[in-house]
Amino acid sequence: MSHSRNQKWREVGVLISLIVLGLIMVSPLIWTVMLSLKSNGELLRSTANAFNPPYTGENYAAIMANSGVFRWLLNSAFVSTLQTLGVLILSSLAGYGFARLEFPFRNQLFLIVLFGLAIPEQAVIITRHQMFADLHLHNTYPGLILPGLAAPFGVFLMTQYFKAIPKELDEAAMLDSASRFKIFWKVLLPLTLPAQATLGIFTFLASWNDYWWPLISATRADMFTLTVGIASSQINFAQTSGLGYLMTQAVFASLPILIVYIIFQKYIVRAVAGAAVR
Amino acid sequence: MSALDIRNVTKAYGPTTVLDDISLTAESNEFIAFLGPSGCGKTTLLRMIAGLETVDSGQIHIGGQRIDELAPGERGVAMVFQHYALYPHMTIRENMAFGLKNIKTSKTEIDARIGEAARILEIEAFLDKKPGQLSGGQKQRVAIGRAIVKKPDIFLFDEPLSNLDAALRMRTRLELAQLRRRLKATMILVTHDQVEAMTLADRIVVIHGRKIQQVGTPMEIYGRPANRFVASFVGSPPMNFLPVTVSGAKAVATLSDGTVFATAITNLPESRSWELGLRPEHVRVNDTGVSAKVEFVERLGERTLIYARLSDGTAITAEDVGLSRLNMGDEVHLSIDAQAAHLFDADGRGYHAETA
């Protein structure tokens, strides 16, 4: 009796702690939303009144009327989606190849891929900038998308994942008269879905949040991604005008990623937990 | 025409030869067991028939047609894997249909075959479940079902019972024997379990040291082992081997302590040395006979196994009644049924009495 009551109190305690922690986590988001509903004049005086009326929709009206935000949102969505798809396709094919096919220099090539994991973006960005400038790829979508497709982590992850699938499945499918592509497509690929989800989510988030390369590659406002676009709206550090407007842009920027989080919550938790356990 | 004809097949991995000049035929509807210790190459031979390993030299024919250069799916074989190898993301029905769809079988035919196989194997209830929802025994049935629907010329079983617990293994073994009678197909079973081989197979192929050691019916293998390896590998507990000297046309064997046995074995050639082979059931605890000291007693219920040592230090396993009163350290007398004895020459070749 007392044992189960103790347990109940413990559960209540855990629940309350989780609620408090959750509120702390989302408070910046709520804060941002609230501030985006305030007029610039009020925000200049103080931001302490975020949770007290009056509220205004003028910042949202301003965004609807004029701003590159929608364009940047579309750019970000387009670049992130294509980059994610590209990484998933290339990593799956490469992972299958490294895990299942016999070809000359396979291990050496895999080693080169692994080296790719150790090379920081900073080390190659100047060369990459020059290369893309020579190829006239700056201020184009391929210019924004292509660098992200070189994903050594994806190749490594998928290789390990394919290796973990028992070869007996390939063999059973061979005896079932399946072609090599059919074995890849119908038997093995569906089994890598958890890895695809993990890789897809991480790639999408990284691409969406990427700031440095788009800052270098996209110099025209119509080619900005959301991160670069919002940063370009910050005219000076004193920031005496457009404070609420900036917050509204931030809300717009966060919304898609929030939606992705909510839809793929299950997979993200699993992916992060899996990464921790391993 | 043989259902399966393996001709002078050799297989090596790098410098290591695993199978050397193997030849074997199986008749239609015959159940053959490949028996041997781990790493003897029996699974490799099965996989070469399936097309999952290449053949270095030699040929394999099924139903008169050479198949060793065909793709696995074109050989008319179906295989039941040791770990079942069911496709985890497909339902049982989809698992069974996959191979048939790949060869463009009509939907009505696929449904009919799955229905029939499911009825035979009593797996109708979980056709729409996924493999992860099934127990080991159920997965085993599905794996067999996936083979049945293909109506192959030859079924290949790669240690199909080794993943099951003891009770289930025995039941599945019985079911496999019954299934075999219903299906009337040629079957090849790879196993390291002699009980499986003895109970299921029409003929056993004992493989060891890259070579086929003996091919024969279970009782031939047990009763007339071709050599010392087969004699020691088949039978549990293993055969006793006692060094003896041999003389006479009807071989008379003499143990080192001077005990003399008249065996029923005739026509022995010359040999540097001889060993007398005795199954434990032919060495019984008695009031008279060779004296020995008990080292260990294994009580199995219906009989008792006595592990003892002769005066010259040779280890010997004998049988006693289920309610044996013997204990470790006791002195016993063992009576030996010399008529059932085998002799092995210096090269390990076996000689048996004509009647055995």
Give residue-wise pLDDT tens across range B130-160.
Answer: 999 998 889 988 999 999 999 999 999 999 8
Residue A236 in tokens: 């000076």
- Residue A173, chain B, CB below 8 Å: the answer is yes
Question: Which of residues A41, A61, A81 is at a domain's end?
Answer: A61
Select the more confidently predicted residue: A276 or B226. B226
Q: For residues A176 and B50, is the Cβ–Cβ distance under 8 A? A: no
Inside any domain, residue A239: no
Question: Least CA distance to A179: which residue of chain B?
Answer: B102
β-pairing, B154-158 vs B186-191, is parallel
What per-residue confidence (pLDDT) applies to B356?
Answer: 44
Do A148 and A19 share a structural domain?
Answer: no
What per-residue confidence (pLDDT) applies to A21?
Answer: 95
Do A173 and A50 share a structural domain?
Answer: no
DSSP letter for each residue of B75-90: SSEEEEBTTB---TTS
CA atoms lying within 13 Å on the CB side of residue B109: 10
Residue type, B191: T
Do A81 and A146 share a structural domain?
Answer: yes
Please report which helix (H) or strand (E) contains residue B242, including its range. Answer: strand B240-247
Inside any domain, residue A275: no
CA atoms lying within 13 Å on the CB side of residue A3: 0
Please report which helix (H) or strand (E) contains residue B168, including its range. Answer: helix B166-183
Chunked in runs of 10, what are the mean pLDDT values of chain A (278 residues)?
Answer: 78 93 89 83 74 78 73 90 96 95 93 90 91 92 92 92 93 94 94 88 88 89 86 65 78 79 77 55
How many angstroms from the chain centroid is the CA of residue A218? 19
A169–B51 CB contact, under 8 Å: no
Q: For residues B166 and B137, is the Cβ–Cβ distance under 8 A? A: no
Inside any domain, residue A133: yes
Cα gap B239→B229, rounded to integer Å? 10
Cα gap A205→A189, rounded to integer Å? 23
Put simply, the chain A residues between 182 and 241 with a CB less than 8 A from any chain B CB are 182, 186-187, 190-191
DSSP letter for each residue of B146-167: HHHTT--SEEEEESTTTTS-HH
From B153's Cα to the closest Cα of chain A, the distance in A is 13
Do A81 and A54 share a structural domain?
Answer: no
CATH architecture observed for domain B238-351? Beta Barrel (2.40)
A175–B72 CB contact, under 8 Å: yes
Domain ranges of chain B: 4-231, 238-351
The domain over range B4-231 is classified in CATH as 2.60.40.10:
no
Q: For residues B206 and B214, is the Cβ–Cβ distance under 8 A? A: yes
Cα gap B118→B92, rounded to integer Å? 10
Do A83 and A50 share a structural domain?
Answer: no
The CATH number that applies at residue A224 is 1.10.3720.10
Strand order in the sheet with B16-26: B16-26, B4-13, B57-62, B65-66
Residue A125 in tokens: 């960005």
Inside any domain, residue A143: yes
Contacts of B82 in chain A (CB under 8 A): 168
Closest partner CB to B99 (pick from A166, A171, A176): A176
What per-residue confidence (pLDDT) applies to A63?
Answer: 74
Residues 6+ apart with CB under 8 A from B85: A166, A168, A169, A171, A172, B143
What per-residue confidence (pLDDT) applies to A51?
Answer: 75
What per-residue confidence (pLDDT) applies to A273?
Answer: 66
Q: For residues B320 and B284, is the Cβ–Cβ distance under 8 A? A: yes
B81–A178 CB contact, under 8 Å: no
Q: For residues B31 and B198, is the Cβ–Cβ distance under 8 A? A: no
Residues 6+ apart with CB under 8 A from A209: A227, A257
Residues 6+ apart with CB under 8 A from B298: B304, B305, B306, B307
Cα gap A118→A113, rounded to integer Å? 9
Domain that holds residue A116: 67-233
> What is the average per-residue pLDDT within B64-89?
93
Do A226 and A120 share a structural domain?
Answer: yes
CA atoms lying within 13 Å on the CB side of residue A59: 27
Interface with B, mutate which of A175, A185, A186, A187 (most B CBs under 10 A): A175
Inside any domain, residue A245: no
Do A72 and A43 share a structural domain?
Answer: no
Do A105 and A43 share a structural domain?
Answer: no
Residue B218 in tokens: 């279970």
- Tell me B74's DSSP state: G
Question: Which of residues A14, A43, A61 is at a domain's end?
Answer: A61
Put simply, the chain B residues between 208 and 267 with a CB less than 8 A from any chain A CB are none
Do A92 and A21 share a structural domain?
Answer: no
What per-residue confidence (pLDDT) applies to B251?
Answer: 82
Residue B100 in tokens: 């048939």
Residue B56 in tokens: 């270095």
> What is the average per-residue pLDDT within B302-330?
91
Do A95 and A226 share a structural domain?
Answer: yes
> What is the average per-residue pLDDT within B78-97?
94
Residue type, B119: R
pLDDT tens figures, B256-307: 778 888 888 888 888 888 999 999 999 999 888 889 999 999 999 899 999 9
B83–A168 CB contact, under 8 Å: yes
Inside any domain, residue A208: yes
ipTM for this model: 0.86
A174–B79 CB contact, under 8 Å: no
Do A78 and A49 share a structural domain?
Answer: no
Residues 6+ apart with CB under 8 A from B287: B333
Interface with A, mutate which of B13, B44, B79, B105 (most A CBs under 10 A): B79
What per-residue confidence (pLDDT) applies to A79?
Answer: 95
Instruction: Please tell me the least confidently modeled range out of A186-195, A251-260, B112-121, B316-325.
Output: A251-260
Selection from A58, A59, A75 nearest residue A248 by Cα = A59
Do A53 and A72 share a structural domain?
Answer: no
Residue B155 in tokens: 């079924």
From A177's Cα to the closest Cα of chain B, the distance in A is 4
Inside any domain, residue A249: no
Contacts of B77 in chain A (CB under 8 A): 175
Residue B186 in tokens: 């040629």
What per-residue confidence (pLDDT) applies to A276?
Answer: 47
Question: Least CA distance to A175: which residue of chain B?
Answer: B73
> Cα B192–B195–B200 angle (5° rounding)?
100
Cα gap A234→A212, rounded to integer Å? 16
Total domains, chain A: 2
A171–B85 CB contact, under 8 Å: yes
Could you tell me what percent of chain B has a pLDDT over 70? Answer: 99
